[in-house]
Structure 1
């Protein structure tokens, strides 16, 4: 299915990487659902800017019923089911090396918050769209990971552990859903320059990344968003269960 024929649900889409994902898919003519949790004004402003093929809908991705309501509302608005899900939402986390809890301070609650946002949230959004995808014989699921669980420049324990688990979810879903024409992949940037979550990252950390990266620069949110277009497009039709690292060559996997 061509990108302009698709209806794309992007979670956590009002700012940062999410905003770039919205702009990327909208530029290709897709219907786009901006899912947001708290950032109503930013989400609605972005939808208004991009036109009638973009709609902003609120839901806490940890709440399955709210996600289902978003999917149903979008189906009514666009008069077509969701074909593509991009699991991007990040729950209450900043990439701040100065405030990150160390191994002596961490609690299970810290981990659980990230597991709920990353794993439970992704599961909810996938399941909300799964019956329609199965009926269509087509679906694209793109999960947003990180290269930090392969190369922890900073030990963001709970965040990177949840993203490592997301790779497990990605590959198990890919194994089971392939028979229905549904692909499931993950794309992993590093610390991106710059998002709301990384605005507190120190310049020293970015300099370390630049010096260690073959391309000698930090990846941007738009460069990551371009890879989502690839996975959702006909060019990515034979790829599933993969984790594509998009970080200028810092991690070579």
Structure 2
């Protein structure tokens, strides 16, 4: 879907879902600047090497903290030096698995709240701000934020995460309004509960199975179920779609 030769920045790339995006983009012919925290450098470098093997596109890994303006500047400069610029940003990085357990909102600390909002919301905004100059110079671009269906449903046990994803939806709409005049589209993908390692650190097997039964398609959601939506919103074919949040959850939530 129009990815051939484009340059894509994927944050949170060393994780399971982020890695799927990297592989999907390189397979479609895009060049990918994959980034994640410094502690994930080994995994991120191995991912980039594997994604570049026998793919139409190429991937490189650059460590970076999405809440650091200096690190964002380094990521954008690396994308420019390696591939000539930035055409697409996938704001995938977020605090989720690191929440460790669900707790009532009355038991969350101020530090808990600030950490999640700082990464999930401020980090996404910082990423948008960092890539916009390069996209303007190229007369357009695609920004895809990763939200969540919990922003619509409300889920007990992690109010800070729910609030952060609702804020990502709002940021998506605001950015779409501001950046449309520059040919930049801004959309979000809202996954349902994905059956992966990260989800199983916070949810029991019974909870995941119950979520699956509540879907129109009646099955658990895999990371690969998200790839098509992200590729579409990043493509030339989605050039007249902006300010939208696309729910991908097998028919659990209808909007």
Q: TM-score range by the shorter chain?
A: over 0.9
Structure 1 residue 21 corresponds to structure 2 residue 21: yes
Paired residue for 2:126? Answer: 124
Paired residue for 2:49? Answer: 48
Query: What is the aligned length?
Result: 249
CA–CA distance in structure 2, aligned partners of residues 118 and 95 of structure 1? 12
SS of equivalent residue, structure 1 residue 104: helix
Q: How far 1:199 sits from its partner (Å)?
A: 2.8
Q: How far 1:82 sits from its partner (Å)?
A: 0.7
Could you tell me which runs of 5 or more consecutive residues in structure 1 were left unpaired when the two chains were aligned: none
Q: How far 1:137 sits from its partner (Å)?
A: 1.2
Q: CA RMSD in A?
A: 1.6
Q: How far 1:94 sits from its partner (Å)?
A: 4.3
1:141 pairs with one of 140, 143, 147? 143
Greater mean deviation of Cα atoms: 61-70 or 1-10: 1-10
SS of equivalent residue, structure 1 residue 146: coil
Structure 1 residue 64 corresponds to structure 2 residue 69: yes
CA–CA distance in structure 1, aligned partners of residues 127 and 66 of structure 2? 7
CA–CA distance in structure 2, aligned partners of residues 46 and 243 of structure 1? 28
Paired residue for 1:113? Answer: 115
Contact 1:188 1:245 (8 Å CA) reproduced: yes
Paired residue for 1:76? Answer: 81
SS of equivalent residue, structure 2 residue 12: coil
Structure 1 residue 156 corresponds to structure 2 residue 161: no
SS of equivalent residue, structure 2 residue 147: strand
SS of equivalent residue, structure 2 residue 129: helix
Q: How far 1:34 sits from its partner (Å)?
A: 1.0
SS of equivalent residue, structure 2 residue 62: strand
Change (3 A) 1:154 1:221: farther
CA offset digits 1:188-240 (Å, max 9, x no partner): 0011111x421322101111111111100122111112211000112211110
Paired residue for 2:190? Answer: 188
